[in-house]
Structure 1
Amino acid sequence: MTTTSVATPKKESGGARVGVQKFGAFLSGMVMPNIAIFIAWGLITAFFIQTGWTPVGILGGFGKTDGVANVGVVGPILTYLIPLAIAIQGGRMIYDIRGAVVGSVFTMGVILGSDSTMILGAMICGPLGAYLAKQMDRLWDGKIKPGFEMLVNNYSAGILGFGLFMAGFFWLSKLFGVIVTALGNAVHFLVTEHLLPLASIFIEPAKVFFLNNAINHGVLDQLGAQQVQQSGKSVLFLLEANPGPGLGILLAFTFFGVGVARSTAPGAILIQFFGGIHEIYFPFVLQKPIMFIAVILGGATGVGTNVAFNSGLVAPASPGSIIAVLTSTSKDSYVGVILSVVLSAAVSGVVASFFLIATRKRDLANGGGDMTEALAKMQANKGRDANAATAGVFAGASAPATDEEVESSFGGVGSPSAPGNTTTATRVENIVFACDAGMGSSAMGASVLRNKIKKAGIEGVTVVNKAIANLSGDEDLIITQEQLTDRAKGMNPGAQHVSVGNFMNAPQYDQVVEQLKSQQ
């Protein structure tokens, strides 16, 4: 088991990565709670537009009834409802309800002042309006005479909202319109020049390092929604969500992997391909970095297939499950979308298998493969305990951790560590699994550990899952994937932090259970 320490030095590259992760997580925090709106809008689009399954003019917005043009509902939902929902959520994340109100007024000015879809504007104006409201309230915090609080609060927010609305309507809407147009032109250039598959060079590694949210929710959702409004579908929704590359990696490890990686890959396939939790295959790539080539080639194959067949989705597929992908597929795109998944899985699987076969003898000679060795090196590079590193992601291929290693792994982060002092573990009652969005992988890990605790007969311990951004500081033990531990430590440095590589089958869970038994 590995723990982080407050005094652990951070590398500049790690700091940059964590910064991008935080930015992406913030964008994801605005979009993910509203994914249901995207799905509902996508279904309305798929069924009722003129090229949909069951065209209905009054809903799809085409044709005329009694000489009156039907604007439909597809356009208004995309133009008003989705941006405002995102802005409200972004405002709440910064300054609760008051921030949501000011942020939504600001965003409405941008929406009405622009001819483009203002999802991007909502992601900026919602939080920005809330931040300005928060700073404004600080100016007279504690200075308002009793009985005048409601008057001052309402009028100050209203006046600020008025000013921001005017700024958004006359100025920022034009700026955001230029940005959206430029991004759209860039995507159009990549498509017309048949270069869109090259995007996988950036997107696939970004996924594995948890850096995809900034690209996915910050850019692709915005441009994809506009393409749907124009043509009824968008290939951009599949750039990141395609489960094929990850499926290929897991299939390769299932047939040609060694040790615990091979034994866990089949179960991971069900969770990744049908559950849509792509994080489950990230450790397989991280432990053998040459696998980045496989996922990039697989991703590019999927994108190229969709471009060739002019296929796409009508809404974001979230989570990236094959079920969600097929549900959101445009009615004329099933052949292309299914082929893109199959071919991307085939390419990534074949390439990954080649690498696994080429290194199989060496992996077997190492008693579990270079994955365990690579993990130990990675832990050493991060300044973590060398003994604890052997209990990493795939430590099942190595000897089990000793009692001393387990005890040292649970030392309180903030407890004495000077020579001669004994590090003692604090009592653990509140365990939190934290990931980027607080759904998917962390929910799965929490469920696994919760079942182990229940079977052990341990009571008085809660196990929940949260987004890292929502950590409150009262957690006793926080469990995260290795790439996210630094961010979790920043949110609550006083908690015990456990890094795992695979939420589905981490050996650290048994050590957590043993610690809980000993404290009772």
Structure 2
Amino acid sequence: MNTNHSAKHVSKRARVQAFGGYLTNMVIPNIGAFIAWGIATALFIPTGWLPNQALNELINPTIKYLLPLLLAYTGGRMIGGHRGGVLATIGTIGLIIGSDVTMFLGAMIVGPLSGWIMKKMDAYLEKRIPAGFEMIVNNFSIGIAGFVLMVLSYLIVGPTIQAANNFVKDSIEALVKTGFLPILSLINEPAKVLFLNNVIDQGVYYPLGMEQTLEAGKSIYFMLASNPGPGLGLLLAYSVFGKSAARRTAPGAIIIHFLGGIHEMYFPYVLMKPLTIISMILGAMSGIMTFQLFGAGLVAGPSPGSIFAYMALTPRGNFVGVFAGVIVATIVSFLTTSVILKADSSPNDDAQFEGSVTRSKDMKLEGINSNEAARSELSSAAATVLRKISFACDAGMGSSAMGATIFRKRLKRAGISCVTVKHYRIEDIPEDSDVVVVHKDLEERTVATRPSANIVALDSYLEDPKIDELLREVVRANRDGDDADELRVRQ
């Protein structure tokens, strides 16, 4: 654990991760609305499962108005509370009316910006409002700010974002026409392992995919970075040809990755042997080429990237192409990773697996203590009773939820029922948390958000000695008089 980090020097990667986290936190709470729109699109458009001219009228207004306004409200509320959300929707309606493209990207910008403006205005006015005038000042402040933001959005912000959106769209469509769309995997796959996938998916591919779906009823953009095939192939290769800890944990990671859609599970395996990033890139490229060959697409963004989400969002006539792309990506990734692993003559990779993140210079985080120092601080923290343990991740719904569930079960088996274990997004970590557990790649961002937190940074949620040590310390802290060293920690 770490109690003395400084949040002053935050790397560019952590800042980009935080930006991606904001995008994710705007999208994830509204995924149900996106899926509802996707289902309606798959069913009622002229080429859908149940073509219906009347119900097809729902499609366009939903994507043009409802979805961007939901994103904007969520983004504004995240920073400025309910008033920030209201101001965000006022500003975003100006974007929508003043542009010809779907304003997902605009909503993701204006939403948090409006929340910030509202927060600053309320803080400024808080001590300056005469008694009895609170309601009128609060109502008029948001009304005047909303009016100004709506007009500016209509006249300036909307056209600017539309121009940027058209540039990105034209660039990617040029890649599609030239057949070079698979080269995007050179960006996507390394970015995913660096936890930057949310910036690409929610910030670029999803908005473009929604626009294409409105025109064509499906989009390949939803599958450019979310294909579970490459990760499945890599984990299968580790299950067969891996060694020690990597081989033992890979089968469990397969279930969580492929069925649960938590792609973070394969990241440590790539970081342990960075050469396997080639497997991921080649697998993703082959998957995209297969999708293109079959003309396949999805009707909405698969979040999480589970095979079940792929099946649910595949439109009529696209199942063969979608499954072919996943299978081909799996095979290519498996074969490439197998060659890399079989060529590795090292006798044991336990140490590599435990230190996979720190072995990569690009992923190395500043100010991380050694395992011994972390254990020493953990032991000192045990002097006080540990009652609240928070698992955190990018969106608070993926790897952190899985880690919290596993840890709760282990505490229950150890006979501990007085400890609260919950999962959160990093920005929502409660300040009264006794311990915060995160993936090592997100530690710097966690420190920037909660500088004084006691942090346990893991290489893997499936098998990590630090989580075992944390369990022992929780047992020691909550069992007076018991010899916790004699307690058998069940996996």
Range into which the TM-score falls when normalised by the shorter chain:
over 0.9
Establish whether residue 313 from structure 1 lines up as the match of residue 313 from structure 2.
Answer: no
Match of 1:418 in 2: none
Aligned position for 2:486: none
1:79-94 matches, within 5 Å, as 79-94=64-79
Q: Give the superposition deviation at 1:505.
A: 3.1
Superposition map of 1:290-369 within 5 A: 290-359=275-344, 361-362=345-346, 364=347, 366=348, 368=350
* Deviation by residue 1:341-364 (Cα, 9 ceiling, x = unmatched): 0011111111111010000x31x2
Deviation at 1:232, TM superposition (A): 0.6
The letter of the residue matching 1:189 is A
Do the aligned partners of residues 96 and 381 (structure 1) sit closer, same or farther apart at CA in structure 2, a change above 3 Å counting? closer
Look up the equivalent residue of 1:223 and give its one-letter code: L
Alignment map for 1:172-321 (pairs within 5 Å): 172-321=157-306
1:173 shift after superposition? 1.7
Give the whole-Å Cα distance in 1 for the aligned partners of 2:365 and 2:135.
Answer: 55
Listed one character per residue, the Cα deviations across residues 237-256 of structure 1 (whole Å, up to 9, x for unaligned) are: 00111100100110000000
Structure 2 unaligned residues grouped into runs of 5+: 479-491
Task: List runs of 5+ in structure 1 lacking aligned partners.
Answer: 61-71, 390-404, 413-423
**How far off is 1:489 after superposition?**
1.7
State the alpha-carbon separation in 2 of the partners of residues 286 and 106 from structure 1.
42
Separation (CA, whole Å) in 1 of partners of 2:47 and 2:83: 42
Shift of 1:427: 3.2
- Where in structure 2 are the equivalents of 1:356-505 lying within 5 Å? 356-359=341-344, 361-362=345-346, 364=347, 366=348, 368=350, 370-372=352-354, 374=356, 377=359, 382=366, 384-388=368-372, 406-412=375-381, 425-505=383-463
What are the superposed Cα offsets for residues 333-391 of structure 1, whole Å, 9 maximum, x if unpaired? 111111110011111111111010000x31x2x463644565564699855444549xx
Correspondent of 2:2 among 4, 10, 13: 4
Give the partner amino acid of 2:13: R
Query: Aligned letter for 2:207?
Result: Q
Measured in 2, the distance between the counterparts of 1:487 and 1:218 equals: 19
- Residues 96-139 of structure 1 deviation map (CA, whole Å, 9 limit, x = unaligned): 00000011000001101111101111111111122222222233
- Mapped contact 1:4–1:485 kept (Cα < 8 A): no
Q: Tell me: CA distance 1:80–1:377, structure 2 relative to 1, closer, same or farther (3 Å).
A: closer
Aligned to 2:48: 52
- Within 2, Cα distance between the matches of 1:336 and 1:355? 29
C-alpha distance in structure 2 between counterparts of 1:455 and 1:215, whole Å: 40
Normalised by the length of structure 2, the TM-score is: 0.93
SS in 1 for 2:391: strand
CA contact (8 A) 2:5 2:447 kept: no
Asked if 1 retains the 8 angstrom alpha-carbon contact of 2:43 and 2:50, the reply is yes
1:313 alignment partner, SS class: coil
1:259–1:369 contact (8 Å) kept in structure 2: no
Secondary structure of the 2:437 match is: strand
Q: Give the CA deviation at 1:182.
A: 1.2
Q: Distance in 1 between matches of 2:468 and 2:97?
A: 56
2:117 is equivalent to residue 132 of structure 1: yes
Q: Is residue 111 of structure 1 aligned with residue 96 of structure 2?
A: yes
Q: Deviations over 1:14-69 (max 9, x none)?
A: 70110100000011111111111111000000000000011000112xxxxxxxxx
Q: Percent identity?
A: 42
Structure 1 residues 8 and 173, CA gap change in structure 2 (3 angstroms): closer
The TM-score with structure 1 as length reference comes to 0.88
Would you say 1:30 and 2:26 are equivalent positions? yes
Instruction: Give, in angstroms, the shift of residue 4 of structure 1.
Output: 3.1
Q: Name the SS of the counterpart of 1:351 in structure 2.
A: helix
Deviations 1:313-342 (A, max 9, x none): 001111100010111112121111111100
Moved over 3 A (4+): 7-10, 366-389, 405-412, 424-427
Alpha-carbon RMSD: 2.0
Larger mean CA deviation between 509-518 and 131-140 belongs to 131-140
Pick from 148, 153, 168: which aligns with 1:168? 153
1:18 aligns with 2:14: yes
- CA deviation after TM superposition for structure 1 residue 211, in Å: 0.6
Q: Across the two proteins, how many residue pairs are aligned to each other?
A: 476
1:357–1:425 Cα change, 3 Å: farther
- For residue 346 of structure 1, give the secondary structure of its aligned residue in structure 2: helix
1:41 aligned residue (37, 43, 55): 37
Shift of 1:495: 2.1
Cα distance in structure 1, aligned partners of 2:130 and 2:377 = 55
Q: Cα deviations across residues 445-504 of structure 1 (Å, max 9, x unaligned)?
A: 000000111111113210000000112322110000010011112222222111112223
In the alignment, the residues of structure 1 paired with residue 74 and residue 402 of structure 2 have an alpha-carbon distance, to the nearest angstrom, of 25
Partner of 1:511: 469
Instruction: Tell me the equivalent position of 2:135.
Output: 150
Contact 1:376–1:386 (8 Å) recurs in 2: no
Q: Secondary structure at the match of 2:54?
A: helix
